[in-house]
Amino acid sequence: MQAALALVDEEGPDALSTPRVAARLGVKGPSLYNHVSGRGEIIDGICELIVAEMDLDMTVRPWTAALDTWARRYRAVLTAHANAVPLFRSRPPQSPSALQGYADAFAMLRTAGWPEEYLLPVVHAVESLIIATASTEERPHDLPAAAELPPGLDPLLNPPPDHRDRTFELGLAALLAGFRETLERLDRPGSAG
């Protein structure tokens, strides 16, 4: 799996194939199937390696500090493996470490008083921000000729080099503030959510 992760880190997710991984290991493609069933299992293995690097600690208190720490560690590791980000989006979590990470996050949120129906949305909101700001993919802008563009598009056309970091910091602060407010509202007697 280390060879597969190195391949993705160096050449991007489109380079990932069983023949390419086998070549890196110095074996013939078919012999790799003695160890993995195919590309999907390799992707799961890559995700397992990346999650293992995250060193997540959901025992941090209060819960907002745990979410903040989790988001920062998660993003730091994904940023270090930015070419693997599309693989994270390509499959539902399968690796034991990823599933344990979800279980730990849900347990921490339950302890904080979050209702069950909010657990996944809270985690997915933070994950969406992390994945969006860890990726190096730029969305191509199929824009009309400059003469046809409305004025004021400079932030879109020439974003600052640190715009992903700024987006993450702003987004995380907004999410945590909104989560705090939502939980306080849910804790009030007679609150409808």
User: Tell me: the pLDDT tens digits for 119-173?
Assistant: 999 999 999 999 999 977 665 556 666 667 888 888 888 888 899 999 999 999 9
CB 18 within 8 A of CB 10: no
Could you tell me the pLDDT band of residue 183, with boundaries at 50, 70 and 90? very high
pLDDT over 80 at 14, yes or no: yes
CATH 1.20.990.10 fits 47-137+147-187, yes or no: no
Domain ranges of the chain: 47-137+147-187
pTM (2 decimals)?
Answer: 0.84
Q: Could you tell me if 51 and 104 are in contact, meaning their C-beta atoms sit under 8 angstroms apart?
A: no
Amino acid letter at 163? Answer: H
Q: How far apart are CA 88 and CA 50, in angstroms?
A: 10
Strand, helix or coil for residue 164: helix
Cβ contacts of 18 within 8 Å, gap of 6 or more: 29, 32, 33, 36, 38, 39, 42
